[in-house]
Chains A and B, each alone.
Chain A
Amino acid sequence: MTEQTDATNAVVIDRTFNAPLALVWRMWTDADAFASWYGPTGASIPFAEFDVRVGGHRRLCMEVTTPDGPMRMWFGGEYREVEQPNRLVYSELTTDENGTASDDSHTTEVRVELSEVANGTRVVMTHAGIPSDSPGAMGWQMAFDKLAAVLSA
């Protein structure tokens, strides 16, 4: 078990890309550009629609190949913070193809922080799995720091 996951239940990826800031921002905010790279290996994005402004919605369809044939999954969410070209925060949840949230869906939050560095653009992406609108989400990390000791025992 890695430190990051048991301490915060969030995925944090910090990577520097050899590309200008404006281009990396576009890769996150332009639906077609985003669809060209997003998703696990072997998946494709046949549909993506982004309304990139605070409160604007995002919809995305991902197609993966299963032994039973192709399977489509739909995702929705909305933009919570848009500070071009440095900060983008959006929520994500599973929906049906009409955009209605699934019964068993929990909302996660993706935060993307972009900054210009000497050799390109640094991207720090945090995908937090706790329902971000839940009460007391803030105390999460503290409690887990203590629990981490038990988990690794």
Chain B
Amino acid sequence: MPTRTTDDDARLDETFGALASATRRAILAHLAQGAATVGELAEPLEFSLPTISKHLKVLERAGLVRRGRQAQYRPCELDPTPLREVAAWADRQRTTWEASFDRLEQRLASLQAKQEGDRR
């Protein structure tokens, strides 16, 4: 069901793309517990630092992760803003589907009323 503007779609695509990876979702889930360094993220996931860094870049580009300024540690932080946009998108879909279902209900009622009438 459509609701669209191109900018929104482009951002949603970026968010969906960033989320379409089990590793990146695991990183986000980890960051949902609090900020962490690349090393802290790599350890429980058993990935190399370069692999984690590569995934972090994708998440950063999508605006889902912010990196700190401290040169040595650069802790990573979750930014839930794009996720809220995804949720808002889902809310818009819900509204339009609800309206459709209301119409389906009316349509079914009138079709059946007509059938009843024909039978009499």
Contact = CB atoms under 8 A, between A and B. Distances in A.
Given A6-B83, A17-B108, A129-B90, 7 more contacts: A4-B90, A23-B111, A104-B6, A106-B9, A127-B93, A130-B16, A147-B78
Contacts of B86: 9, 129
In this complex, the interface size class of chain A, counting residues with CB under 8 Å from chain B, is 35 or more
Given A40-B95, A40-B99, A137-B20, A143 B13 contact: no
Given A73-B2, A106-B13, A149-B32, A140 B19 contact: yes
A52 interface: no
A143 B32 CA distance: 10
Given A5-B90, A104-B9, A135-B20, A143 B29 contact: yes
A1 B84 contact: yes
A99 interface: no
A40 B87 CA distance: 19
A125 B19 CA distance: 23
A101 interface: no
Nearest to B94: A11
Interface in A126-150: 127, 129-131, 134-137, 139-140, 142-143, 146-147, 149-150
A10 B80 contact: no
A147 B20 contact: no
Contacts, number: 141
A18 B99 CA distance: 17
A129 B93 contact: yes
In this complex, the interface size class of chain B, counting residues with CB under 8 Å from chain A, is 35 or more
A151 B29 contact: no
A120 B81 CA distance: 42
For the complex of A and B, 6 pairs with smallest distance between CB atoms = A143-B25, A134-B20, A5-B90, A40-B96, A37-B103, A136-B22
B91 interface: yes
Nearest to A74: B2
24 contacts: A1-B87, A4-B90, A4-B94, A6-B87, A11-B94, A11-B97, A17-B105, A17-B108, A18-B108, A19-B111, A39-B96, A39-B99, A40-B95, A75-B2, A104-B6, A129-B12, A130-B20, A135-B20, A135-B22, A136-B21, A139-B22, A143-B26, A147-B80, A151-B84
A70 B52 CA distance: 48
Given A11-B97, A150-B32, A18 B109 contact: yes
Contacts of A151: 80, 83-84, 87
